Amino acid sequence: MQHPRHKTLSDILAREIADGTYPVGGRFPSEHELQARFDVGRHTVREALKTLTEQGMLGRRQKAGTTVLASTPFAHYAHTLRDTSGLFGFVGDTALDVRYLGFVREPSFLLEHAEPKAPTERWLRIAGVRHTRSDGSPLCWTEIYVPSAFPLDREAVRGARQAIYELCMETHNLKLNYVEQEIKATTLPRAIAGLLAAEPESAALLVLRRYVADAGVTFEVSANLYPANRYSVRTIIR
């Protein structure tokens, strides 16, 4: 079966990006240049570039042209949620590279609209880049906030192979009552986009979660910020 022309073209261009013909951070040929080189129509070129953009390899901006963002496609993480056990699976499939660990007075702007906030003046902030374990590619920027009423050992946090909320539950003998989740459409700030090898101000998904214990006390809030083409949530309702 013959592949569509745009699929053949996107495969060729992906190989050229991978072998360094077009280096990461460099300019990528324009639509007109690609049309002339491959003797194909505008629609074929646009569809090929759309594929590479959705795979996270290219960033396209009006008036700024097309830039190479990555030498290999980014994996899309589909998160299936049936119950709270689905949250454990997410941690098993990913790893957090902690870039910041310390107390703050206020959560970052990512959580400025999260409600209700935990009743505390100090938070332990754990922030960094979350990678997929399968290939090590950056998946999202993660920020986790634990109220000072639930202190955690910092070395245990840095070396944790489990979710931070699990560590908090074990440390303080808490029982999880429920997790409240909200997903918002937003854009990637420039500083975070650079860490994720994504285009600044491009579409993003912000996943906010609040973890509540049996006593009705919030013991963790978190924010995961994803480039929009790298994450989806699949919920099963019975």
Give the CATH number of domain 77-235: 3.40.1410.10
Whether the CB-CB separation of 197 and 122 falls below 8 Å is answered with: no
Q: Is the dihedral of CA 224, 226, 231, 234 positive or negative?
A: positive
Backbone angles phi, psi at 19, to 5 degrees: -90, 5
Quick: pLDDT tens for 162-185. 889 999 999 999 999 998 888 899
Q: Which residues contact 165 (CB under 8 A, 6 or more apart)?
A: 87, 176, 211, 219, 220, 222
Q: What is the pTM of this model?
A: 0.68
Give the CATH number of domain 5-68: 1.10.10.10
pLDDT attached to residue 88: 54
CATH 3.40.1410.10 boundaries in the chain: 77-235
The three-class DSSP label of residue 143 is strand
Q: Which residues contact 131 (CB under 8 A, 6 or more apart)?
A: 94, 95, 96, 97, 137, 138, 139
pLDDT attached to residue 50: 85
pLDDT band at 22 (very low <50, low <70, confident <90, very high): very high
Quick: pLDDT tens for 80-132. 555 555 555 566 678 899 999 999 987 787 776 555 555 557 899 999 999 88
CATH 1.10.10.10 boundaries in the chain: 5-68
The pairs formed by 185-194 with CB atoms below 8 angstroms and a separation of 24 or more are 185/228, 186/225, 188/225, 188/227, 192/141, 192/225, 193/227
How far does the chain reach from its first CA to its final CA, in angstroms? 40
Q: Beta strands of 133-197 (E only): which ranges?
A: 138-147, 176-187
Q: CA neighbours within 13 Å on the CB side: how many for 212?
A: 15
Bridging pattern class, strands 94-104 and 65-68: unpaired
Residue 238 in this model has a pLDDT that exceeds 90: no
pLDDT band at 1 (very low <50, low <70, confident <90, very high): very low
Per the model's pLDDT, the better-predicted residue between 128 and 59 turns out to be 128
